[in-house]
Amino acid sequence: MDHFDTIVVGMGGMGSATAYQLARRGLKVLGLEKHNLLHDKGSSHGLTRIIRLAYYEHPSYVPLLYRAYELWRQLENLTGERVLFVTGGIDAGAENGRIVQGSLAACREHSLRHEVLDAGQLRNRFPGICLPKGMVSVYSPDSGFVLSERAIALYTRLALELGAEIHGREGVTGWEVRPDSVLVRTETSTYSADRLIVSAGAWTAKLLPFLRNVLQPERQVLIWTRPLRPKLFQLGAFPIFNLQSPEGQFYGFPVHDFPGFKIGRYHHRDEKVDPDAMDRDCHPEDEAVLREGIARYFPEANGPTLALKVCLFTNTPDEHFMLDAHPETDRVFIAAGFSGHGFKFCSVVGEIMAELAATGTSRHNLDLFRIRRKF
């Protein structure tokens, strides 16, 4: 039986960064992925993911974000490839709404650069955005996006170059803690390790049944449209955005590489799913949800559909992450529940999980992310 210092289950964004961080510490690492590497069945495909410092979800995320930016730049320096694009970003909605007030709270607590723009000022600066009077926005110049699939490929490549062993299409069927190790069974083999890290996205609760009532996978759909006025939405002319509106909370990106304006709606149609049985096709009802936001707030982007794609959120009740040891053993660590806003943290989560596996502690403050918290 092959023995490893650490086995990582799930080789998406979090798992690939974790495998790299473990391997760079000189540890013997095995990464196991249920699907193909860079598959489109989870939460990390679709080309791009937002990154931002003005974090309306909670100011406690901001120190982690500073480190995440540093580590994304480190990845670029190591590989010679660009994965982080700074475009500026807006958090928009009612002046007293959660997004605007949360963004301002983070900016004030951490002295972040920002401007508050009314609907007319925002329209003058970014003509592709059309907010009604009464809405305001917090503009943050440090926001942007990360190339999600490219980042996974690069972290995986670096981990392999440092000696990690990574297996695709080898799902984990079970695990157990023994006095001196963790035993991990897959569809084809059995391995042992000193430590196990579970970063299996929407499949996490299937491996950790005690989280079944806490981690809830949710079906999400994204659309790419061909703008009617493409220049308004190009990289350099258009920011990333989060928009809280009566029609829902929308988020999106400038056009980059793939020639389309990308937009999604948080909690798309509020569909709780089993990731192995969910509907992975896109339907007119899915497009209608997204077109409502495009037509109302981004009318010059309301051109032909180029693509629709399904992905997954895995939500906790409070929509904060879980980064912690298993409550019953110090040999198993969990990175889960990223609730639709996690990918930007992959670089720093990899560091956190490697630190936990190697030493049992992390330099980062993880109080917000404890498993045994009140929901």
Number of helices (H), then strands (E), in the chain: 8, 20
Active site annotation includes 206: no
* pLDDT at residue number 139: 98
Residue 9 DSSP class:
E
Given the residues 267, 269, 280, 370, the one annotated as active site: 267
Given the residues 24, 34, 49, 265, the one annotated as active site: 49
- Is residue 81 within 8 A of residue 155, CB to CB? The reply is no
* pLDDT at residue number 161: 98
pLDDT digits (tens, 9 = 90+) for 134-146: 999 999 999 999 9
What average pLDDT does this structure show over 106-112? 98
pLDDT class for 54, splitting at 50, 70, 90? Answer: very high
* pLDDT at residue number 56: 98
Concatenating the DSSP letter of every residue in 25-89 gives: TT--EEEE-SS-TT-SSSSS-SSEEEE-SS-TT-GGGHHHHHHHHHHHHHHHHHHS---EEE--E
What average pLDDT does this structure show over 341-351? 98
Residue 238 DSSP class:
B
Active site annotation includes 48: yes
pLDDT class for 207, splitting at 50, 70, 90? Answer: very high
pLDDT class for 157, splitting at 50, 70, 90? Answer: very high
pLDDT digits (tens, 9 = 90+) for 232-288: 999 999 999 999 999 999 999 999 999 999 999 999 999 999 999 999 999 999 999
Active site annotation includes 262: yes
Given the residues 87, 186, 311, 316, the one annotated as active site: 311
Given the residues 24, 45, 114, 341, the one annotated as active site: 45
Given the residues 6, 18, 48, 186, the one annotated as active site: 48
Given the residues 41, 320, 331, 344, the one annotated as active site: 344
- Partners of residue 197 on adjacent β-strands: 8, 333
Average pLDDT, the chain: 98
**Domains, the chain, ordered by start:** 3-45+149-209+318-369 (3.50.50.60), 89-141+216-315 (3.30.9.10)
pLDDT digits (tens, 9 = 90+) for 77-99: 999 999 999 999 999 999 999 99
* pLDDT at residue number 70: 98
Pairing of strands 144-147, 216-225: unpaired
